[in-house]
Amino acid sequence: MKIRLLDYGGRCPERAHANDAGADVFSPRDAVIRPGEICKIPLEFGLLVPDGYAGFVFPKSGLSAQGIVCELPPIDSGYTGEIHAIISNIGNKEYKIKMGDKVGQLVIMPVLIPDFTFENWKERGTGAFGSTGR
């Protein structure tokens, strides 16, 4: 599948290996993320994602092991603006991003687009969060 990019001055995502699920995305600037903070890094490109698919900027495994994780809001097929990596520092140390660092990996996935309807459904109760016991 070919996914067209919209160039906002950024670097094209790159796969380290041909069969990798994700393509690395790169920071266009330096940033510092302190513990407990969230940083929105513009990636300087957009995507033309076909209907029935969505894009996600997943965390890099090496960064996740350090407590630096990408949040996963979907990049919808109708959105053509600049995409961002939304990065949280859930670790206990400040993390410095340098211009050109890999900050996540872009993954395109199929999604189902359901039609939602309300039903009068009584078969299952409202118990949740441990209601069935240990």
Residue ranges of the domains in the chain? 4-110
What is the sign, positive or negative, of the torsion defined by CA atoms of 89, 105, 4, 12?
A: positive
Tell me what pLDDT residue 9 has.
94
Q: Note the pTM of the prediction, 2 decimals.
A: 0.86
3-state DSSP percent of the chain in helix, strand and coil, to 5: 5, 35, 60
- Cα 89-7-110 angle, rounded to 5 deg: 65
pLDDT tens for the chain, residues 1 to 134: 999 999 999 999 999 999 999 999 999 999 999 999 999 999 999 999 999 999 999 999 999 999 999 999 999 999 999 999 999 999 999 999 999 999 999 999 999 999 999 887 767 666 777 777 77
Q: Which of 111, 110, 97 is nearest to 42 (CA)?
A: 97
Kindly report the CATH class assigned to 4-110: mainly beta
The Cα 31–Cα 15 span in angstroms is 23
The Cα 40–Cα 125 span in angstroms is 40
DSSP 35-48: TT-EEEEE-SEEEE
